[in-house]
A = this chain, B = another copy of it.
């Protein structure tokens, strides 16, 4: 009987995060101050981030030790199982060996708490009592609520209003862990009040919610801001995924994967799995690192690699990344976590250097793939994760057609328990695809600042 689940013993959970920057031949372009286009000094971030996280953001060391107390909390659900997808393989009649790293076993149901716990811990260490953040569909907000609950920090979540109303379960989840959640735009911030005055019926956006959370953090002594993806330190915290997966493959005598596949919104879950394999790839190993996104928000496949703002309201530094323009509002695909105009700078750099490959899919074909997974492996994937599953299935079929015994490794970033309404829309034929939003992107790209870097 082939073993389905590979469990790493708890005492073999990684003791350090892996920083890919140390192994790259290309220095990452620095974030810039939009006022003078000069590299941003670290102190500029101290109004909203603790010093330890700023240091990690700028860090050049290969390994960053994970404090014992963080490891203890991660131990509530880590190491996560690596699972051989035997039923899916059988269904697809593929000679490929498929493994998925099940990050959905965390209490909030995704990879997000890997960094939420770390960020909350460092904030607490430096004496902050409260963290403000934004959330779209609610995966990040619930992860930070969970972290705040375990560490005794107050959490305030600005949740995009349309999600606040449409996804009550994620809001309940945040309440259960004791966080305060308000629909954004809210009357609690100057940014929110201004927008409400102009447009009281606005459905909100991630860009607006970021502005509110940043304002909250910048204007309160006891409060910092926290971001769930994109930044270097977030990707760093997620590398436990790939480090564990490597050990687990090694435990059963499996070779390096031929493909590592993950979905990309801001890029952190994919990067957490893929970055620990970058050195292998640079050393000439046959590995494709594949990031997958929606056709409706094609940041990696159709965006430009250049300096842009991280938020709509232009409150962030300029970062060099693949972007569709900071003012681009993606169509309302159900994979809310993939609706971001930009991409993690580290992922973007590696795409530019052809180390990372990319693919984009429409949402109906993505839900079809998700259903195949749910009806073979049992677990119901989040719409975000389902993008990676579509690519996985396509490649497993390619392996069948070419009779290739490849090893395919998927990052199963989250479950779809709170997204079942989307599944029902798909099943009843009411889910639609969106054309490539060419005009909207062209308009947004025209508003991207011209920076010569």
- Chain A residues with CB under 8 Å of chain B are 1, 3-5, 7, 10-11, 72, 75-77, 87, 105-107, 109, 146, 149-150, 168-169, 171-173, 175-178, 371, 374-375, 377-380, 417-418, 420-421, 423-424, 427
Contacts and interface: CB of A to CB of B under 8 A. Distances in A.
Contact of A1 (B10, B168, B371): B10
Contacts of A150: 375, 378
Contact of A175 (B3, B172, B423): B423
Nearest to A423: B176
Given A1-B10, A105-B105, A371-B176, A378 B76 contact: yes
Contact of A146 (B5, B171, B172, B378): B378
A4 B168 CA distance: 32
A299 to B, nearest CB: 29
B172 A420 contact: yes
Contacts of A424: 168, 171-172, 175-176
A176 B76 contact: no
Given A176-B423, A375-B178, A11 B4 contact: no
A172 B75 contact: no
17 contacts: A4-B10, A4-B75, A5-B7, A7-B7, A76-B87, A149-B375, A150-B375, A150-B378, A169-B169, A169-B417, A169-B421, A175-B424, A176-B380, A176-B423, A176-B424, A177-B374, A177-B375
Contacts of A149: 375
Contacts of A169: 169, 417-418, 420-421
A210 B77 CA distance: 39
Q: How many copies of this kind of chain does the complex include?
A: 2
A173 B377 CA distance: 15
A1 B11 contact: yes
Nearest to A420: B172
Nearest to A13: B1
Residue among A173, A378, A380, A418 with most chain B CB within 10 A = A378
Nearest to A77: B378
Contacts of A107: 374, 378-380
Contacts of A175: 423-424, 427
A171 B428 CA distance: 13
Contact of A421 (B7, B87, B105, B172): B172
Nearest to A418: B417
A7 B3 CA distance: 13
A143 to B, nearest CB: 11
Contacts of A105: 105
